[in-house]
Amino acid sequence: MAPITINRHNIFQWLKFGLLEIGRVIRALFTRSGGRVTAVTRFVEEHAECGNPDSVLDAIDTFSYEQRFLMNVGDEKGEILLRHLKEAKAANVLELGAYCGYSAVLMGKELASKGGRLVSIEASDHNTQMARRVVARAGLSKTVEFQVGKASERIDQLEGPFDLVFIDHWKDDYLSDLMRLQDNGLLRPGSRIVADNVGIFSKALEPYLSYVRESEEFHSIHYPTRMEYNDSIDDGVEVSIWRPSPDEIAA
């Protein structure tokens, strides 16, 4: 994972966050609750109502605020993702990085109401198993398809085009995987690329951000936000709309 961006403006916030998480990790060791993805999956299955996506999301948010930090998109940034999903009238969506299944439930709920589908690619087999359980609890297994493997190895096998792509996996792969999507004809004019964590990983994501902001093929919008489940650390979401030239479409 690429290093977070720390500077004199946020170092004390990161120190405070780190100390809090160390205490939570120690507590988790004593209670033998397991890793955080396993723990949140169990929490969802114990507290969320079956077949109710909102109940599942609420359970994950509660776990993240009260027990252990989770690096999913979260409630604040999730609203931005959902807004663009609706504005794009997306029916065919790709997710790069499933983690615990939060964003899959968030988008899957909207897609299920329109007969759409979500393909979610996750490199970790364990995370995929847990995300499947979370999505099943929400009643969205028929809407969300999980694929295990690195996105760089899976993109060539996908069928598009995708109306929206949500990128929230390895930061070093944001740019290369976006370019793979373009090269494989998996975007359509107007496709939206929603990239998470462009604030806390701003240094690592400089090549990606330069590409989508300077390319004539993209119209890019930056949304300053807070990091998920934290009120003091700045983060951001970048939404880029693909607007290729007629020559590129013909090719």
Token pair for residue 189?
A: 């004019």
Catalytic site residue from 110, 122, 196, 238 = 196
22 C-beta neighbours (distance < 10 Å), count:
10
- pLDDT score for 7: 75
Please name the fold of domain 11-250.
Answer: Rossmann fold (3.40.50)
**Burial of 182 (C-beta count, 10 Å sphere; 0-12/13-18/19+):** middle
Catalytic site residue from 122, 173, 228, 238 = 228
Give which of 222, 226, 210, 205 is closest to 76, Cα–Cα: 226
DSSP-derived 3-state class of residue 38:
helix
Instruction: Tell me how long the chain is.
Output: 251
Distance of CA 35 to the CA centre of its chain: 19
Catalytic annotation on 197? Answer: yes
End-to-end CA distance of the chain: 35
Catalytic site residue from 10, 92, 127, 197 = 197
Catalytic annotation on 177? Answer: no
Q: Which helix (H) or strand (E) holds 163?
A: strand 162-167
Catalytic annotation on 54? Answer: no
Kindly give the confidence (pLDDT) of every residue in the chain, 251 residues in length, as a single tens digit, with 9 standing for 90 and above.
567 777 777 787 878 877 778 777 767 676 666 689 999 999 999 999 999 999 999 999 999 999 999 999 999 999 999 999 999 999 999 999 999 999 999 999 999 999 999 999 999 999 999 999 999 999 999 999 999 999 999 999 999 899 999 999 999 999 999 999 999 999 999 999 999 999 999 999 999 999 999 999 999 999 999 999 998 899 999 999 999 866 555 45
Token pair for residue 196?
A: 């998470």
User: Model pTM?
Assistant: 0.92
Catalytic site residue from 110, 168, 235, 238 = 168
- pLDDT score for 54: 98
Token pair for residue 193?
A: 């690329």
Catalytic annotation on 196? Answer: yes
Catalytic site residue from 95, 127, 171, 235 = 171
